[in-house]
Amino acid sequence: MHPQRKCLNVVFQLAGLIIGKGGSRIKEIRQQSGASVSIADPDEGSDDRIITIVGTNDQIHCAQYLLQMRCVSVLSSSALSFNVEFICNDF
């Protein structure tokens, strides 16, 4: 079975919070989901970051869920206010 790929768009304000200090949060998401998860630098003219998830469908769904829960967790405990559906939306 060939690995699948999914890309998500994340507003730049959350990228560092998703990655975590020294990459700790993103490593945790990789370990829990079993998927390969990478966050690209913003494209020229954009502040948004692209998260690429590679793995089986189950691994991708798990990683996407963990990323979305991280977004919700960060937003519920901070002054940042964004629409989570926009933050972690497929494109």
pLDDT at 79 over 80: no
Distance, CA of 44 to CA of 37 (rounded, Å) = 22
pLDDT attached to residue 44: 86
Distance, CA of 72 to CA of 49 (rounded, Å) = 17
pLDDT at 3 over 60: yes
Distance, CA of 49 to CA of 32 (rounded, Å) = 22
pLDDT attached to residue 87: 45
Task: Give the distance, in angstroms, between the CA of residue 12 and the centroid of all CA atoms in the same chain.
Answer: 11
Confidence of residue 57 (pLDDT cuts 50, 70, 90): very high
Q: Does the model's pTM come out above 0.85?
A: no
Torsion of CA 70, 74, 80, 83, to 10 degrees: 30
